[in-house]
A and B are shown apart, each in its own frame.
Chain A
Amino acid sequence: MARMAGRRALFAVPVLLVVTFAVFAVAAASPFDPVKAYAGTAGLTASQENLDQLRANLGVDQPLAERWWTWLTSALTGDLGDSSVMRQPVADVIAERIGWSALLAATAFAVAILLGTALGVLAARRRGGWLDRSVSSAAYTLEAAPAFWLGLLAIWFFALELGVLPAGGLTDTASETVTFAQVASHLVLPALVLGVSQLPWFFLYVRQGVADALDEDPVRGARARGLNERTVLLGHALRSGMLPMLTLIGSRVPELITGALLVETVFSWPGIAAATVQAATSVDFPLLAALTVLATAAVLLGNLLSDLLYGLADPRVGFDG
């Protein structure tokens, strides 16, 4: 297990190098002009001389490989550079935001996995029953619904019609301090929306997995041995039914990041996602590279996690496989 984790970590080094270089190359090839992005509306009235000076100051006229190498070497010494779009050091941009994004994503993931598994097991137990039919059709609908639209719907219903939950922000808009109660109440809607948008995948996988397992010989055997329904369902069926879902966990990470992006925008959640879009459209190399490293690391970690879980859940699967 430790060996697998170690090997994966070693493998991550070239992956990250390639990914960051690719980001620089794609950004350099993109039609976006970092100087225009930096200047914003002021750029519409700026003289050519002023724009040229900005180009030199921002150092965006250097060749691609040189820019990447400069970024990489200073990043390794702990200096992530300055974000041009945020006008502050990249480390500060990330430090300010990443905690809130992690909190949102983790809560949403927990909601999706726990709720998805529970509903999946219940649906698989009585296939074709009212619960199975209603939850399955809801799941297919949700799979098609964009998180953005779900967010608007949730704001309309919970904040406007019922008036029970805040419509956005990290805390009450007029409040200046960040308290646990406030963050908790403001987290409910975005985390639910993000979680629910991920839920169909987990639900459908668990439902199918458990349903298949219930038809298999080991479960039949267990039933025949007179074990009670609970043990059969949770001990045998769920265990093997969970396996496909565990691989799903890692592969859902990128989707979770994209979903968070839309949800953060709808709910004015001060996370890292909005900064990512801005960094990309502004060709803000230092910020973009740092965020890409984080996202790639998250995906690699997600894959590692699902492999580890798979190994733990099914002892037949070796960690070195």
Chain B
Amino acid sequence: MTARSIRGMAAATLAGALAITAAACSAPGSDGKGAAAGDSAVVGIAYEPESLSPLLGYGKDGNSKIFDGLLAFDGDMELRPALAVALPKVSPDGLTYTYQLREGVKFSDGKPFSAKDVVFTYRTILDKQTNNASKSELDALKDVKATGDHTVVFTLKYPYAAFAERTVLGIAPEHVAARQDVNSGPFTTKPVGTGPYVLTGWSKGEKLSFTANPDYWGGAPKVKKFTMAIIKDDDVRATRLRSGDLDGAILPPNLAKGFKGESGKKTYEATTYDYRLVTLPTHNKVTGDTAIRRALDVAVDRRTMVDKILEGAGKPAYGPVPTGSEWFTKGTERPHDLAAAKKVLDAAGWKPGPDGIRVKDGVRATFPLWYLSGDKLRQDHALAYASDAKKAGIDVRTQAGTWEVIEPRMKQDAVLAGGGSPGDPDFDQYLLLKSSLGGDGFNNMGWYDNPAVDKALETGRRTNDKAARKAAYDTVQRELSKNPGYTFLTHIDHVYVVNDAWTGLSTQVEPHDHGLASGPWWNVENWVPKK
């Protein structure tokens, strides 16, 4: 670097600072006025998206404030039409999905929405050059065509019952997004969509500001201004909620407890598909033994984990499907029963050694359990699991590490993992249990291999007959209780505290990752200010 460029840099920095001051002075006195109490809402979230482009995966699970999908989920995760006028027509062989599109819908820049935008969106996501990490979710999709201005036809490679659930992803405008680099163009931060809100500002690391879309096809939202403040630290978020800076926030259960019973604040506990489990790798001599797996499954005290670790905000988990879901197989609950665990181990020949740890054919009943370092919740689960296992004579050695350390060991070592996506039972179960996906990235981390489960999983995804699907997933869950390749521990509720200033608040069933639109504000466009 030369002297000139150093001076240049100093000058640029100075000029930058001056420009900020000048810009600041030229926009006087417009701080937050005009918004009557109630028609603006500010919420605190812990997570900031990298991009707001649906082409890169933003809003793929529906429910984006800026974009609409062809379909959307309601509060009970039932599909309802959005940019399509009705649910799709599915051909008898389950390979063709035809959508009729809503007419007269406009993007927030005033340009009309049509079938070519839908085709553009899906084709761009499938394109190899598009860096969309979620594109495996559209694996079943072969092609998409417009057969008119307002008709779109999807063709699949194989019958996939959950396909309609994938069409909740946001539709991008071709006339904007097609003209730029899909991976880094301005569209990724300055989105244009058809949704109920328009992004007015994104101060990275600070907040996202939205204003109601007055021309929204579903009717203009009553909450005119909506702000998402990005506050990564839980304590700071709670403090700013208390100071009145925020109207609502996501909080860990122990911090949310402090707001219970406070007038003017309401607590919402969203039920989720967000599970914590312990993988029991098939390739490990100890965890691969069905007797050990079954013993652990009943030795673990799930209820106490919910009460002590989650402060009651959660439910015991017996499989990927939460007990409250319509897809849950009643009767597969396994209550805590230490005596039964010991009986199973005794019967299988795992005899207690001198130190109380069981031994069979010279193999000690011991295995390592990894958890993500820095994740308090996972650490607590891992320690509780190890302590419960010890009582049955199984020595679980907990170890913390980053994913880079854990991943190469996943074939042999147990991992305390998390996951869960609501919508369709296929989403979680196929990726978690299908034997052919053993070791494929983070899919089937335990290398679970059960032909009966494999068959049921295929039946479940290839038929559109709901009764047949229910039977298939019942089979999966029953098999899982006979030969648990994972010890499922808990489903975790997400806790939110919100000012009691609106009506119409509810929560949706939520996935594992805290998306931008999770929380009571999933339907902020339907909130009505209290008088």
- B229-283 residues at the A interface, CB under 8 angstroms: 229-233, 235-236, 239-240, 242-243, 245-246
CB of B28 within 8 A of CB of A179, answer yes
| B139 interface hit (Cβ, 8 Å) | yes
A115-123, A170-178, A212-220, A235-243 - the one binding chain B: A170-178
Q: Which of A13, A38, A172, A265 contacts B2 (CB 8 A)?
A: A13
| A103 interface hit (Cβ, 8 Å) | yes
A53-61, A62-70, A226-234, A311-319 - the one binding chain B: A53-61
Residues on A with C-beta less than 8 A from B443 are: 45, 47
CB of B441 within 8 A of CB of A46, answer yes
Q: How far is the CB of B27 from chain A (nearest CB, A)?
A: 5
CB of B20 within 8 A of CB of A99, answer yes
CB of A42 within 8 A of CB of B188, answer no
CB of A86 within 8 A of CB of B50, answer yes
Q: Which of B5, B203, B232, B245 contacts A170 (CB 8 A)?
A: B203
Q: How far is the CB of A159 from chain B (nearest CB, A)?
A: 5
CB of B441 within 8 A of CB of A176, answer no
- Main secondary structure on A side of the interface with B: helix
Q: Interface residue count for A (Cβ, 8 Å)?
A: 82
CB of A173 within 8 A of CB of B233, answer no
CB of A301 within 8 A of CB of B188, answer no
Known A89-B184, A170-B203, A179-B24: A99·B442 in contact at CB below 8 Å: no
Residues on B with C-beta less than 8 A from A51 are: 133, 441
Q: Which of B1, B24, B231 contacts A268 (CB 8 A)?
A: B231
Q: How far is the CB of A53 from chain B (nearest CB, A)?
A: 6
CB of A175 within 8 A of CB of B32, answer yes
- A140-190 residues at the B interface, CB under 8 angstroms: 152, 155-156, 159-160, 163, 166-183
CB of A39 within 8 A of CB of B231, answer no
Scan A258-273; emit 1 where CB is below 8 A from any B CB, else 0: 0000001110111100
CB of A57 within 8 A of CB of B206, answer no
CB of A174 within 8 A of CB of B2, answer no
Residue of A nearest to B14 (CB): A102
Scan A72-103; emit 1 where CB is below 8 A from any B CB, else 0: 00000000001111111100010011111011
CB of B205 within 8 A of CB of A97, answer yes
Residue of B nearest to A56 (CB): B128
Residues on A with C-beta less than 8 A from B349 are: none
Scan B117-143; emit 1 where CB is below 8 A from any A CB, else 0: 000000000001101011111010000
Residue of B nearest to A167 (CB): B240
CB of A31 within 8 A of CB of B402, answer yes
Residue of A nearest to B27 (CB): A177
Known A46-B134, A169-B207, A182-B31: A53·B128 in contact at CB below 8 Å: yes
Residue of B nearest to A12 (CB): B1
| A10 interface hit (Cβ, 8 Å) | yes
CB of B242 within 8 A of CB of A274, answer no
> With the chains together, A112 CA to B231 CA distance in Å?
27
Q: How far is the CB of A252 from chain B (nearest CB, A)?
A: 18
CB of B206 within 8 A of CB of A268, answer yes
Scan B212-234; emit 1 where CB is below 8 A from any A CB, else 0: 00000000000001010111110
| B13 interface hit (Cβ, 8 Å) | yes
Residues on A with C-beta less than 8 A from B30 are: 175-177, 179
Q: How far is the CB of B347 from chain A (nearest CB, A)?
A: 37
CB of A43 within 8 A of CB of B442, answer yes
Q: How far is the CB of B96 from chain A (nearest CB, A)?
A: 24
| B78 interface hit (Cβ, 8 Å) | no
Residues on A with C-beta less than 8 A from B204 are: 86, 93, 96-97, 270, 275
Chain B contact-residue range equals 35 or more
Residue of B nearest to A83 (CB): B184
Known A12-B1, A43-B442: A168·B231 in contact at CB below 8 Å: yes
> With the chains together, A54 CA to B421 CA distance in Å?
23
> With the chains together, A102 CA to B183 CA distance in Å?
29
Known A41-B513, A268-B205: A167·B239 in contact at CB below 8 Å: yes
| A29 interface hit (Cβ, 8 Å) | no
CB of A152 within 8 A of CB of B17, answer no
Scan B172-212; emit 1 where CB is below 8 A from any A CB, else 0: 00000000010110101100000000001101111101010
Q: How far is the CB of A90 from chain B (nearest CB, A)?
A: 9
Residues on B with C-beta less than 8 A from A88 are: 184, 186, 188-189
Residues on B with C-beta less than 8 A from A41 are: 512-513
| B19 interface hit (Cβ, 8 Å) | yes
> With the chains together, A70 CA to B481 CA distance in Å?
55
> With the chains together, A266 CA to B232 CA distance in Å?
8
CB of A48 within 8 A of CB of B404, answer no
Q: Which of A31, A40, A270 contacts B205 (CB 8 A)?
A: A270
CB of A301 within 8 A of CB of B10, answer yes
- A189-209 residues at the B interface, CB under 8 angstroms: none
Residues on B with C-beta less than 8 A from A163 are: 243
> With the chains together, A171 CA to B227 CA distance in Å?
12
CB of A102 within 8 A of CB of B13, answer yes
Q: How far is the CB of B269 from chain A (nearest CB, A)?
A: 22
| B6 interface hit (Cβ, 8 Å) | yes
CB of A13 within 8 A of CB of B1, answer yes
Counting chain B CB atoms within 10 Å of each CB, which of A38, A87, A163, A265 scores highest? A87
| A44 interface hit (Cβ, 8 Å) | yes
Q: Which of A12, A53, A87, A89 contacts B6 (CB 8 A)?
A: A12
> With the chains together, A111 CA to B245 CA distance in Å?
27
21 interchain pairs, CB-CB under 8 A: A9-B5, A38-B133, A40-B133, A41-B512, A42-B60, A46-B136, A50-B135, A51-B441, A57-B183, A100-B20, A155-B236, A159-B245, A160-B242, A166-B245, A168-B236, A177-B27, A180-B21, A181-B31, A183-B24, A275-B205, A301-B9
Q: Which 9 A-B pairs have the closest CB atoms?
A: A39-B133, A9-B3, A42-B133, A31-B404, A180-B24, A270-B206, A82-B184, A87-B51, A41-B513
A44-B441, A173-B42 are known; give 19 further A-B pairs, CB within 8 A: A9-B3, A12-B6, A40-B133, A42-B134, A45-B134, A45-B419, A46-B441, A50-B136, A82-B181, A86-B50, A98-B13, A99-B17, A152-B235, A152-B239, A155-B243, A167-B240, A179-B24, A268-B229, A270-B203
- Residues in B lying within 8 Å of A, measured CB to CB: 1-3, 5-6, 9-10, 13, 16-17, 19-21, 23-25, 27-32, 35, 40, 42, 50-51, 53, 56-57, 60, 128-129, 131, 133-137, 139, 181, 183-184, 186, 188-189, 200-201, 203-207, 209, 211, 225, 227, 229-233, 235-236, 239-240, 242-243, 245-246, 402-405, 419, 421, 431, 440-443, 512-513
